[in-house]
Structure 1
């Protein structure tokens, strides 16, 4: 069994309205699903991606208005990256971020590729990475030309206290391969990659024993999800992980995809998620994200759920 790259990244926010304004209007991503946290259905769960919300393009956010400030320590998913098609696109985004007063740094080089670090309004640490060989295409908007548009997910960076423990799970359990290493700001980063996945199948791992343990809050990443082909393969992963001694969620049906969850030794929460059935299962593909979507087991509670949610105009 081989993982097919990163499926999505899920983070915590305190304000869905601010989140929508930034990721749709500033970054130009498509809101492909406006739904609720299936474990707490009085809270929004927003999904962004390409036109269809394809696996490998998805950023998702849990709105928790009472979220406290995060502690950006060790044992966390520290940076999420998004891919743009060229160095010229990075310069476009650098100018756009300056114009819209988005907190960003100068363009730098990460593992041989140019990158533009920035933060969203709630403090998520992100980076745009230039990759001219991607087969994906971005969404053109009135302000963002197609040749500069974001085209999908790139590497996720993990900061951990004990590097070897996390590395062994990636290589010996999940099937990643160590492909390179690089230095940044005095720290060494090791790059792991799933088979033939490219940038959207990379995890960058760095060790830091001096930082305090991270604490979740608004602006922190909740979990990192990897792609599996279908439900049958996912069930085999459940068996494999439990045989290896991991406590898992078991097989979980999220309606839009099926999942399993487990924590690696440094406490990072991983999810394995199927590619399908996808977000068009309950909406026309040209109208994704326009209305509140609920999985069938919550549909009978729609009136109560909508009454508890603050309206979010999309």
Structure 2
């Protein structure tokens, strides 16, 4: 069965400079692509990932300065989980405490917040030692290795569970967890006590993307999703990968994204993230787009 592990998580920030400093300077991620939201070219879209932009390692952000604060509740992603090597949590606790990220250390995991309240978690993973390291900001033996999964608050948990098992091929475990067969990814369904739906805003997640190998699998998954009675966006060319979006019955926006072509399609590995990158279909609007963007801190 295909491994539909996490491809990326896309979140919202209202303070892009602060966001850039935290995710690169504190967490040690690499800015591998500085682009724009292809559906709203007035907004930056920043991609943070490992040293080479491997699918499954990137957390991305839309820059929406006027966005209200995220409102947790059903229909939202509650938490993003990163992998770290075993024995690294004390290091991360001290580093995040110094960054005022409110770390809370548990058995094998560490909860914390980014400066806008984005809920994040580090989980020790014995398999992470062979992964590609991130950047020199953090010692290689401590560095984050990628995204393990997400917690989601569903307005219709059993319907969401069917999407995870019947469409994405996850195994249902105890305590609300779902995993891929090879344990490369996990999703947890969280029961919310809120009596109203959540609302995505700054400090929250816009959508979570699951990995597919190529266009052939993407189109096969489109047929599978639509056969289950769920509407989709249809095939979308994002240039760096190809996508399909659908809102699962519990209210969370899911994306399916291909492994390629990849972030090095228009920049060398050495130059990733250093310049404003636009897909070919936006290149003729570069002057207009650049004039509407504020400079990012270096």
Aligned pairs, how many?
297
How far has the Cα of 1:132 moved from its partner? 1.9
1:123-178 Cα shifts (integer Å, max 9, x gaps)? 10000111122231423425x21101111111211122332111111111221111
Contact 2:164 2:170 in 1 (8 A): yes
What does 1:131-146 correspond to in 2, within 5 Å? 131-134=125-128, 135-142=130-137, 144-146=138-140
Contact 1:3 1:226 in 2 (8 A): no
Q: Where does structure 1 differ by over 4 angstroms across 4 or more consecutive aligned residues?
A: none
* Residue equivalent to 1:117: 111
TM-score in terms of structure 2 length = 0.96
- Hey, what's the Cα distance between the residues in 2 that align with 1:309 and 1:148? 35
What does 1:75-94 correspond to in 2, within 5 Å? 75-86=75-86, 88-94=87-93
* Residue equivalent to 2:66: 66
Give 3-state SS (helix, strand or coil) of 1:133's partner: helix
Give 3-state SS (helix, strand or coil) of 1:212's partner: coil
- Hey, what's the Cα distance between the residues in 1 that align with 2:80 and 2:145? 14
- Hey, what's the Cα distance between the residues in 2 that align with 1:5 and 1:65? 31
Contact 1:73 1:214 in 2 (8 A): yes
TM-score in terms of structure 1 length = 0.91
- Hey, what's the Cα distance between the residues in 1 that align with 2:51 and 2:72? 32
Higher mean C-alpha displacement, 130-139 vs 235-244:
130-139
What does 1:173-252 correspond to in 2, within 5 Å? 173-178=167-172, 180-181=173-174, 189-196=175-182, 198=183, 200-252=184-236
Structure 1, gaps ≥5 residues long? 182-188
How far has the Cα of 1:312 moved from its partner? 1.1
Structure 2, gaps ≥5 residues long? none
Give 3-state SS (helix, strand or coil) of 1:148's partner: coil
1:35 aligns with 2:31: no
How far has the Cα of 1:212 moved from its partner? 2.4
What does 1:1-12 correspond to in 2, within 5 Å? 2-12=2-12
How far has the Cα of 1:211 moved from its partner? 4.3
Aligned-residue CA RMSD (Å): 1.4
* Residue equivalent to 1:169: 163
* Residue equivalent to 1:300: 284
